[in-house]
Structure 1
Amino acid sequence: MGFKADIIIWDFAKRAIYARLTLHSAKVEALSFSPNDMYLVSLGGQDDETCLHLAICGNPASAHSAGQCLCLQYSNTDDNTFITAGNGTLRLWELDLPNRKVRPSECQTGKLKRIIKCIEIAEDDQYFFCGTTSGDILKMNMKTGLLNSCGPAKQKFSQGVNVLKILKSQEILVGSGDGCLTLCSGTTFKTLKRVQLEGAVTSIAMRGEGQQLLVGTDVSQMYRFSYTHLEEPELISSSHSSAVTAVAIPYGSSELFATCSKEDIRVWHVDRSKERLRITVPNMTCNALDIMVDGRSIISAWNDGKIRVFAPESGRTLLVIDNAHSMGVTAIAGTRDCKKILSGGGEGQVRVWELQQGGCHRLLETMAEHKATVTDIQIKKNDKECVTASSDGACIIWDLVRYVRNQIVLANTRFRCVCYHPEEYQIITSGTDRKIGYWEVYDGAAIRELEGSQSGAINGMHVSQDGRYFITGGDDKLVKVWSYSEGEVTHVGAGHSGSITCVRLCGSSRTLVTTSSDGAILRWRFPHPLSSD
């Protein structure tokens, strides 16, 4: 509330912003272009229910007093007519160009009371169709605004109609909340074909005359169909639909990487950006993951307090450690010899687990000096030392032979990330205070402090294999490449629309992988040559 909601018009050919219109408050619910593309009409959200004819007036043209508007559609043949609908409202609007006004007229649905989620207008503008949360479709006369028919009569569309698309054959494609894409008759709404997809259908787009269809769902899946083979969907794109919490890259490899989020872990091809494997744990969130150096297992930290180990080829569960931490497992790392797992929890404990033959495990030690959530764990190459970061404002360097604290680093911040320099004589840290700190491993002394961000915490950090550069990302949504020795930013990448949660560099391929709270995974070309190549 109180913030303006932008409308951005893009130049498709140049991939650049053509215009930015700041007219609505809080939210823009829907947009629609006129048939000749001269006008754009926009619909504000619940806290700003106004229709704006942007080419005509810069102020609200007319406010909706009856119900909440959810959808908007322009006529196919008339630049002066559009329709709005939603909860308790269905209106035809006429543009009065000389007076710079838009005038509404109420549509009549008789005794039917529906919440309308989508509108689709016939090509000749004789009728328009409304999909409802009740799972039926209203056919309305465009000229009179009267209800013509309603259907289907018996089996309605489960969990509501989210999207409609009229085909050249006059049949209708219906996307519903239960994930079904249905081809039905345009007159009786009787089902002709149906295919089940993953997640609720949220959008349908047609290519050409409708021979090829693209369908999107609310779990970030995109499918491609041909009209003649509707029952054979091809998954062409997938991604996380919740915040991506961590990225892991196999040791010595730049072909694959793994990410985790709510309910699942996914393994991706770096070059093709294609999902190779998905491991699902329903109703749980994976907070962190790592790939063992031998590449034979993925270790993962979950909010139900369990550590789960999976096979990276098949996704088969190899080991589950129950009750690993009482307030969820929040950080995890595996040793180079692949014999131990270090985990951190929401209660602040750091635990060392020994992996045994036959899928067994043993708790070796519990190190309890942190007072709050452990956010990151990094292990030295010789497996004899590690550093843990915590939101209690401390980074602790542990001796993994005697299981005691070697050094402690304190700062007025909630640490989010920590990294060893490849030569392992220094660590760098960052967190909510937006500072990047350099520290001596030997005695924990502060060496240098940099201003890492102008706004927001730094959530992810990674040092290149040669130690010359490091990368940061955080709440300012910017990816920054730094010179390690000079402490200066060499490159800045802008592409995320949510807070960056993790950054990882695939050393040999010079590819940078970043993730964010909106579920995005972005690949970048690392801008510097690496001396190890």
Structure 2
Amino acid sequence: MNLVVWNIVDWRPICSSRIGNGRSGPGKCLAFVYEDYFVCGGKDFIQTWNLKEDKLFAATCNVGKLKRTFQCVAVDPDSDTAYFGTDSGDLVKVALLTGTARAPAVVSVSIKKSNKKSAINAGRFSGGINSLKLLDSSKILIGCGLGELSLVQQAPQKVVHGKNMPMTQVCESAQGNLEEKYSHKFGAAITSINFTPVLNQMLIATSGNELLNVNLLSFGVTKELSCCNGPLNSVAYPVSSHKVYSTAGNGGVRIWSYENIGQPLVKINPPHTNITATKVIIGKDGRFVVTGWSDGAVRFYTPETGNLVMEVRSACSGTGGVTSMALNRDYLIVGGSDGGVKLWSLGRTTVKLLTSVREHRGKVTYISLSPDNQFLVTAGEEGAALVWSLPGLTRINLLRGTASLISAFLHPNGVHGLIAGTDKELGYWDLTTGLEIRHLKAPVAGEVTCVELSPNGETIAVGTKQSVIRLIRYRDGANVGVGHVGCGSITAMAWSGDSNHLIVTTNYAIIVGWVIA
């Protein structure tokens, strides 16, 4: 692995060098001691680097039998010391010995103090040390892989002949030199720790995509920001408002507000481990948030509290879970991975299966209802869209595409049907005659991942794997707008009921909203 030094004024590389000793693993952490002097660590190595006349000069620390992966580093320039956190849960103190001809040396390997009757590894930090921050020369804030945040104080170092003597022969056993003052357990691994402008407060980031503020005096925790912690599969607006929206993904379902960015109003976690929320719809009357899951169930939650109201098990056929879903006041329509479609009747507190059909030869990728709720269209992975009448779920039309279909819509004018395929082709169909009346290629670059028609039927939004959104005028297929997300493939889009707002999600859990002028 190479180390490259850059000039950030003109983004020009100054010099580079290989790190490690040839037998060690990749680098994991780096911290500057001075402007031209820094330290780095990785798998089984610690090195200091000096930048002189656009050249790098390295000094390798003798770690001896210490087989560790050094994951994070914090530097105390005043005491000429660096502290490294390891994957095995101990803290390694290194004397940098700057200004001398000697290589850096390990001073101590420390863990928390524990009772003599405790297990041999009781003092190690659970899940390894992921992040460090020095509060002063003796107090250290440590973030662990299992979510524990610890404030520890070092025991005074033994002095020999009036000098602090660095170790020359490194022993592998760790000593209980750290006294734990405070600790707090979070629900996810701590990934980074940083200071805030406010005295005695720190910002903590976790692998659960949460940013938290910790008061070091009381160890009270305040949530600053929260994001989804996995790819997002679906997003939905309520019909009557654009100020709130809901997302579904690996971390469950969230309800968000534009007025409180970064803090979900309601958080619905997966009811079981290893299942994913695949679809979400907010009912037109606002009574329920209807969610489809990878275990094939549809669950109804209250939007105010996120409490479970109803659960429909085996709501779809196939083993791939709920792949598509549509909802009106009286019916729930669910598509599965084997091409099956089930029609459910909605009561006040009950759900009843009315009929089930399977005419698609591939996964049902999209279900859309007509504005008058008299018809619906289902799009299949095999390249066909089927138009059905309600409530009997009787097939009345076939709209055939040229490739696998992403979505299909019934236009508000009651006459047209629109289908969109993975080959960027848009097909306009006359539902009265069953004939295709127009066929055009969407003016987008890259692979198309999702397509949505605005509720007023005037604009088509096309999302791509290249993280770009194109707006296409329905009437003539002209490109009328473009939006760059720039962070992951577009996974889902939703229009607000007034067709003036568009919300977009990506596989990197990014949520972006646009106002359509």
User: TM bucket by the smaller chain?
Assistant: 0.7 to 0.9
The aligned amino acid for 2:143 is: G
Is residue 145 of structure 2 the alignment partner of residue 177 of structure 1? yes
Contact 1:77 1:125 in 2 (8 A): no
Which residue number in structure 2 is paired with residue 117 of structure 1?
71
Which residue number in structure 1 is paired with residue 507 of structure 2?
517
Contact 1:178 1:200 in 2 (8 A): yes
Question: CA, structure 1 residues 57+490, in 2 after alignment: closer, same or farther (shift >3 Å)?
Answer: closer
Contact 1:181 1:196 in 2 (8 A): yes
Aligned partner of 1:279 among 268, 288, 307: 268
Question: CA, structure 1 residues 489+276, in 2 after alignment: closer, same or farther (shift >3 Å)?
Answer: same
Kindly state the Cα deviation for residue 135 of structure 1 after the two structures are TM-superposed. Answer: 0.9
Contact 1:198 1:221 in 2 (8 A): no
| Alpha-carbon separation, structure 1, partners of 2:504 and 2:86 | 39
The aligned amino acid for 1:131 is: G
The aligned amino acid for 2:211 is: M
Is residue 111 of structure 2 the alignment partner of residue 152 of structure 1? yes
Contact 1:419 1:462 in 2 (8 A): yes
Tell me, what secondary structure is at the counterpart of 2:23? coil
Question: Mapping of 1:55-204 within 5 angstroms?
Answer: 55=7, 57=13, 60-64=16-20, 65-79=22-36, 81-97=37-53, 100-124=54-78, 126-143=80-97, 144-153=103-112, 154=114, 155-168=123-136, 170-187=138-155, 188-204=177-193
Is residue 325 of structure 2 the alignment partner of residue 371 of structure 1? no
Question: Mapping of 1:358-507 within 5 angstroms?
Answer: 359-446=349-436, 447-463=438-454, 465-507=455-497
Question: CA, structure 1 residues 210+114, in 2 after alignment: closer, same or farther (shift >3 Å)?
Answer: farther
Aligned partner of 2:238 among 216, 229, 250: 250
Kindly state the Cα deviation for residue 418 of structure 1 after the two structures are TM-superposed. Answer: 2.4
Contact 2:397 2:434 in 1 (8 A): yes
Contact 1:76 1:124 in 2 (8 A): no
| Alpha-carbon separation, structure 1, partners of 2:248 and 2:390 | 27
Runs of 5+ unmatched residues, structure 2:
98-102, 115-122, 156-176
The TM-score, its normalising length taken from structure 2, stands at: 0.86
Runs of 5+ unmatched residues, structure 1:
1-48, 529-533
| Alpha-carbon separation, structure 1, partners of 2:72 and 2:471 | 44
Which residue number in structure 1 is paired with residue 4 of structure 2?
52
Which residue number in structure 2 is paired with residue 270 of structure 1?
258
Kindly state the Cα deviation for residue 173 of structure 1 after the two structures are TM-superposed. Answer: 1.2
| Alpha-carbon separation, structure 1, partners of 2:426 and 2:34 | 58
Question: CA, structure 1 residues 518+409, in 2 after alignment: closer, same or farther (shift >3 Å)?
Answer: same
Which residue number in structure 2 is paired with residue 316 of structure 1?
307
Kindly state the Cα deviation for residue 404 of structure 1 after the two structures are TM-superposed. Answer: 2.1
Identity of aligned residues (%): 25
Tell me, what secondary structure is at the counterpart of 2:276? strand
Contact 1:469 1:483 in 2 (8 A): yes
Aligned partner of 1:260 among 248, 271, 278: 248
Which residue number in structure 1 is paired with residue 325 of structure 2?
332
Question: CA, structure 1 residues 385+520, in 2 after alignment: closer, same or farther (shift >3 Å)?
Answer: same
Q: RMSD across aligned C-alpha pairs, in angstroms?
A: 2.1
Which residue number in structure 2 is paired with residue 32 of structure 1?
none
Contact 1:477 1:498 in 2 (8 A): yes
| Bigger Rg over Cα | 2
Which residue number in structure 1 is paired with residue 341 of structure 2?
350
Is residue 179 of structure 2 the alignment partner of residue 227 of structure 1? no
Kindly state the Cα deviation for residue 421 of structure 1 after the two structures are TM-superposed. Answer: 2.5
Tell me, what secondary structure is at the counterpart of 1:301? strand
Question: CA, structure 1 residues 391+307, in 2 after alignment: closer, same or farther (shift >3 Å)?
Answer: same
Tell me, what secondary structure is at the counterpart of 2:33? coil
Choose between structure 1 and 2 for higher RCO, CA contacts under 8 A separated by at least 6 residues. Answer: 2
Count of residue pairs the alignment pairs up: 471
| 1:94-117 per-position Cα deviation (integer Å, ceiling 9, x unaligned) | 3342xx432322212333211111
Contact 1:297 1:309 in 2 (8 A): yes
| 1:241-283 per-position Cα deviation (integer Å, ceiling 9, x unaligned) | 1111111111212221111001411011133223100111132
Tell me, what secondary structure is at the counterpart of 2:314? coil
| Alpha-carbon separation, structure 1, partners of 2:462 and 2:226 | 26
| Alpha-carbon separation, structure 2, partners of 1:470 and 1:509 | 11
Kindly state the Cα deviation for residue 412 of structure 1 after the two structures are TM-superposed. Answer: 2.5
| 1:18-53 per-position Cα deviation (integer Å, ceiling 9, x unaligned) | xxxxxxxxxxxxxxxxxxxxxxxxxxxxxxx11112
* 70-79 vs 515-524, which moves further: 70-79
| 1:191-245 per-position Cα deviation (integer Å, ceiling 9, x unaligned) | 111122231111112123753321111111111233323x221111111111111
The aligned amino acid for 2:58 is: P
The aligned amino acid for 1:183 is: L
Kindly state the Cα deviation for residue 428 of structure 1 after the two structures are TM-superposed. Answer: 2.6
| Alpha-carbon separation, structure 2, partners of 1:443 and 1:86 | 68
Contact 1:125 1:142 in 2 (8 A): no
The aligned amino acid for 1:477 is: S
Which residue number in structure 2 is paired with residue 18 of structure 1?
none
* 185-194 vs 493-502, which moves further: 185-194
Contact 1:435 1:452 in 2 (8 A): no
Tell me, what secondary structure is at the counterpart of 1:76? strand
Contact 2:15 2:55 in 1 (8 A): no
